[in-house]
A and B are shown apart, each in its own frame.
Chain A
Amino acid sequence: MSVGTGAGGDAGTGGGSGLGRIGVVTFPGSLDDRDAQRAIRLAGGEPVALWHRDKDIRQVDAVVLPGGFSYGDYLRCGAIARFSPVMGTVVEQARLGMPVLGICNGFQVLCESHLLPGALTRNDHLHFVCRDQRLRIENANTAWTGDYTEGQEITVPLKNNEGGFVASEHTLDALEAEGRVVLRYVGRNPNGSRRDIAGITNEAGNVVGLMPHPEHAVEALTGPTTEGLGFFTSALKSLVAAS
């Protein structure tokens, strides 16, 4: 269900990743947009810079909402970004099946936009956390996790102040029952997230939000591992498969 007419699916390269165009939105206060673009490039895709004030998402096949402090985290993290012109289009296309990945602040924006349930609240210990975090892949069937296997453990950086995932018990039970918990923290829970949840997906599996930062774990020189690259290669493969 790729959106637009990017070269993605038609390239048919042997590597399987093709040339999917993946947009990365820059909000005022976005921090990790460059790293997300770089990760997409390293995965074999074509990163496309998107601007928060543009409704036009330039016919990309997928979108990444990067980490950072959009609109200074004023009101609530992600609350103001949700009403930016670009998000109107992203929400509309996500509902039509376009893959969307929200990382950290991007996850907060997805929850505020109601593309994902629940909310992210202040870490229970009140400290900003910044460390390499071990995670377990719980769902390897989303548009962003197909290159992993269920139960696989990966380590990528985690850095947040409002990373505690909360939702009603009813919602948490539904997420578990429907297999929509995509990632869980392994070892000590770093932020008080309910049920150690680090990432979730929507019912269709095209929208994924996670607190940890896979885009910072794509190169041996700068990351603790290269185990984050799979999110981006997964999306590119899903675009090829869907075309």
Chain B
Amino acid sequence: MPRVVVDVMLKPEILDPQGQAVQRALPRLGFEGITDVRQGKRFELEVEGPVDDAVLARVREMAETFLANTVIEDFTVRAAEPDPAPDAGAVA
């Protein structure tokens, strides 16, 4: 199925206490060198037909009115890459 991906992130000027909590936990787990973490949301939408400009425009409208709250969040909309062949590096 063709997919469209919507990424939603808090605007840079909006405090992200969850991201900060993750960032503070990292050194305790031995992960050094991460100076900032921002946490967001990702939506994967399966669409019936091909992902053309009209579909992307409609998804943008959906993101603007519902998936994101544009008072505090930014979003990006893109067509997803087709599923890649199983990654040799990934361990099941």
Chain A contact residues, CB within 8 Å of chain B:
75-76, 79, 83, 111-112, 117-119, 121-126, 164, 166-168, 192
Instruction: Contact check, A126 vs B18: say whether CB atoms are below 8 A apart.
Output: yes
A121: chain B residues at CB < 8 Å are 10, 14-15, 72
In this complex, the interface size class of chain B, counting residues with CB under 8 Å from chain A, is 10 to 19
Q: Which of A79, A83, A112, A124 contacts B15 (CB 8 A)?
A: A124
Q: Report the Cα distance A164→B72, complex, angstroms.
A: 12
Taking a contact as CB atoms closer than 8 A, the residue among B17, B21, B69 that contacts A76 in the complex is: B69
Q: Show 9 residue pairs from A and B whose CB-CB distance is below 8 angstroms, ordered by the A residue.
A: A76-B69, A79-B66, A112-B69, A117-B71, A119-B72, A121-B10, A121-B14, A124-B17, A168-B71
B43 to chain A, nearest CB (A): 10
Q: Could you tell me the distance between the alpha carbons of A125 and B18 in the complex, rounded to whole angstroms?
A: 9
Among B21, B67, B72, the residue within 8 A (CB) of A166 is B72
Question: How many A-B Cβ pairs are below 8 Å?
Answer: 35
Which residues of chain A are within 8 angstroms of B69 by Cβ–Cβ distance?
76, 79, 112, 119
A125 to B17, CA, bound (A): 7
Across the interface, do A118 and B18 meet the contact criterion of CB distance under 8 Å?
A: no
State the Cβ distance, A84 to closest chain B Cβ, in Å. 13
Alpha-carbon gap, A111 to B69, bound state (A): 10
Which of B10, B15, B67, B71 lies in contact with A75, CB distance below 8 A?
B67
A119 to B70, CA, bound (A): 10
Nearest CB in chain B to that of A169: its residue: B13
Name the residue of chain B whose CB is nearest to the CB of A125: B17
Q: Which residues of B contact A (CB under 8 A)?
A: 10, 14-15, 17-18, 21, 66-67, 69, 71-72
Q: For the complex formed, measure the closest distance between the CB of A218 and the CB atoms of chain B, giving whole angstroms.
A: 32
Distance to closest chain B CB from A81 (angstroms): 12
The closest CB in chain B to the CB of A123 belongs to: B17
Residues on A with beta carbons closer than 8 Å to the beta carbon of B14: 121, 166
Given contacts A79-B66, A121-B15, contact A126 B21 (CB under 8 A): yes
In the complex, the chain A residue whose C-beta lies closest to that of B72 is A119
Q: Chain A residues near B66: list those with CB within 8 A.
A: 75, 79, 83
Q: What residues of A have a CB within 8 angstroms of the CB of B10 in the complex? A: 121
Question: In whole angstroms, how far apart are the Cα atoms of A122 and B71 in the complex?
Answer: 14
Whether B71 and A118, one on each chain, are in contact in the complex, defined by CB atoms closer than 8 angstroms, is yes
Q: Shortest distance in angstroms between A107's beta carbon and chain B's nearest beta carbon?
A: 14
Specify which of A121, A122, A167 lies most central, judged by the most chain B CB atoms within 10 Å of its CB.
A121
Q: Give the 9 A-B CB pairs with smallest separation, nearest first.
A: A119-B71, A119-B72, A126-B17, A124-B17, A122-B17, A119-B69, A76-B69, A126-B21, A166-B72
| Among B21, B67, B71, contact of A111 (Cβ-Cβ < 8 Å) | B71
Expressed in whole angstroms, the Cα–Cα distance for A166 and B11 within the complex equals: 11
Q: Which residues of B contact A164 (CB under 8 A)?
A: 15
Contacts of B17 in A (CB 8 A): 122-126, 192
Per the bound structure, the CA–CA distance linking A111 and B70 in Å amounts to 12
Closest to A194 in B: B15
- In the complex, what residues of B have CB within 8 A of residue A166's CB? 14-15, 71-72
Give the residues in chain B near A124, CB-CB below 8 Å. 15, 17
